[in-house]
Amino acid sequence: GGSRENRIKDAMLAMERYLWNKEEAIFKLFTPPFDKSEKNPGYIKGYIPGVRENGGQYTHAAIWAVLALAKLKEKDKALQLFNMLNPINHSRTPIEVAKYKVEPYVMTADVYAVEPNVGRGGWSWYTGAAGWMYQAAIEGILGLEIKGDKLFIEPCVPNNWKEFEIYYRYKNSPYNIKVHLKNLPQEEIILDGVKQKGFPVILVDDGLQHELEINL
């Protein structure tokens, strides 16, 4: 980004203090919501305060916060927020199911932040949020980046993770990627038994299955 480091730090601290309600498992778009103000911010004031864009959780923006935390290498916080946004974690008990009220296996556009509906999901099957959630998992947390035929991996996972695997298909060629987290001073990359010089790994579309081992 183009901001100064101290301003980035202040912004993220304010985000966590004012927007991230860990007790209710809600990440608000902003606070306080528009209610009786004289100025008109547009259509969002048409929503009840605490619902959708008017001070509720707007899931697109909440996922962007996961990506921001990942870029800052806030490993534990990035995964914590990602897990909080995962709908299955809003439906672990009968009480949570009754509170959330929507499907636990798809993303919602929003989660209400106003009584008596705090924690209630809205506008489920929201494909935009689902797409961003996928990117947050694959690119933000696992750190997989593809640029043309070049592959990079720079994970942002908690320190207690020892390894993870990714199955990636490059056109007609599947790649089984195994990442071992060993805290090495220099990465070790082995593609189909042959040691590589480093990133990027050049992907080949030859219709064959490839084994990629990465030690970090």
Q: What fold, for 143-215?
A: Maltose phosphorylase, domain 3 (2.60.420)
| Residue 65: how many other CB atoms lie within 10 Å | 21
pTM metric for this prediction: 0.93
Judged against a pLDDT cut of 60, whether residue 1 lies above it is answered with no
Q: How confident is the model at residue 4 (pLDDT cuts 50, 70, 90)?
A: confident
For residue range 11-21, list pLDDT tens digits in order: 999 999 999 99
List every span in the chain annotated with CATH 2.60.420.10. 143-215
For residue range 167-180, list pLDDT tens digits in order: 999 999 999 999 99
Residue type for position 6? N
Q: How confident is the model at residue 48 (pLDDT cuts 50, 70, 90)?
A: very high
